[in-house]
């Protein structure tokens, strides 16, 4: 097969932007998707499009028809689709009770349904090829749910569940599904944070309603002291891409500050999970 074709969602900033640049530097053919490339993201789209090996495509992952059309066009043009990286997302903090049903639906639509739309549109080609790699960007908060980030955590927990089951279902076809669990990094995601829109409940929480703001201040000080490098995430992604199929781990932690906590949990759970699959006669899926 010729050089890898890599499809990445949410490349206008943060991990997606860095990953697009890193994959292009490796010589991969990159399709970098961005929303609103003619308006608010025009400058970033122009910059990426001027980078060798990067093709910028407008896409909103909440639009099912657009996802299908974009994936189909890439396959028609390239004749292959080797890697998809479901990175599109946004951070949500604050009190869980302040989130309306609409707020929750929006969070799930981007993080979970968006990843599934791209995955479902890509799998037929990957199975046909007999190889492919699906990388879903989760979080350490997809393993442990921290307070005052509950709705965001819930979406990442769902990404973990989607990825883990699918990892075993499609392995027999030569397709790998992998999860990246980043920690907190000083990227643009925190500047675009959302909070629940039901402000009526805030007074009843008293001083607790101020905790999210205190968390943000504490995180800022942590960044200053430890200076975590967000390039750690695209480096972990590149390592997965370059690892032979069938040898890629399900979960990779990319966290220079609190990653040991998540790593320990991942290792302990995997032992018991392997026992679970074996007990139910699915040990072949572990190979």
CB of 183 within 8 A of CB of 140? yes
- Label the pairing between strands 132-137 and 54-58: unpaired
> Catalytic site residue 99?
no
Neighbours of 240 (CB within 10 A): 19
Distance of alpha carbon 201 from alpha carbon 30, whole angstroms: 45
- The residue from 154, 156, 163, 195 that is catalytic is 156
The structure tokens 């205190």 sit at 214
> Catalytic site residue 270?
no
Closest CA to 183 of 78, 257, 102, 267: 257
Structural tokens at position 204: 């009843």
- The residue from 22, 122, 138, 139 that is catalytic is 138
> Catalytic site residue 152?
yes
- The residue from 17, 28, 152, 195 that is catalytic is 152
Structural tokens at position 9: 């969602």
**Collapsed DSSP state (helix, strand, coil) of residue 51:** coil
CB of 246 within 8 A of CB of 281? no
Closest CA to 231 of 188, 185, 178, 190: 185
| Cα angle: 175, vertex 176, 182; to 5 degrees | 150
Active-site residues, by number, are: 138, 152, 156
């Amino acid at each position: 097969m010729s050089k890898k074709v890599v499809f990445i969602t949410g490349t206008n900033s943060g991990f997606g932007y860095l990953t697009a640049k890193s994959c292009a530097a490796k010589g991969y053919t990159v399709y970098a998707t961005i929303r609103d490339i003619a308006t608010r993201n025009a400058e970033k789209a122009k910059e990426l499009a001027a980078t060798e090996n990067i093709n910028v495509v407008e896409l909103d992952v909440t639009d099912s028809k657009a996802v299908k059309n974009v994936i189909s066009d890439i396959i028609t043009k390239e004749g292959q689709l080797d890697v998809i990286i479901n990175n599109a997302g946004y951070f949500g903090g604050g009190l869980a009770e302040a989130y309306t049903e609409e707020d929750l639906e929006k969070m799930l639509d981007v993080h979970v349904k968006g990843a599934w739309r791209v995955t479902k549109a890509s799998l037929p080609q990957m199975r046909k090829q007999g190889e492919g790699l699906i990388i879903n960007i989760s979080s350490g908060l997809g393993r442990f749910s921290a307070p005052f980030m509950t709705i965001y955590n819930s979406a990442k927990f769902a990404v973990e569940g989607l990825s883990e089951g699918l990892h075993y279902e499609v392995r027999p076809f030569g397709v790998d599904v992998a999860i990246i669990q980043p920690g907190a990094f000083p990227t643009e995601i925190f500047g675009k944070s959302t909070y629940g829109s039901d402000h009526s409940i805030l007074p009843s929480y008293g001083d607790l309603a101020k905790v999210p703001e205190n968390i943000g201040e504490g995180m800022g000080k942590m960044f200053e002291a430890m200076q975590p490098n967000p390039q750690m995430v695209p480096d972990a992604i590149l390592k997965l891409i370059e690892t032979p199929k069938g040898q890629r781990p399900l979960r990779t932690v990319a966290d220079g500050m609190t990653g040991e906590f998540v790593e320990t949990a991942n290792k302990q759970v995997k032992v018991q999970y392997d026992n679970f699959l074996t007990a139910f006669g699915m040990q072949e899926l572990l190979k």
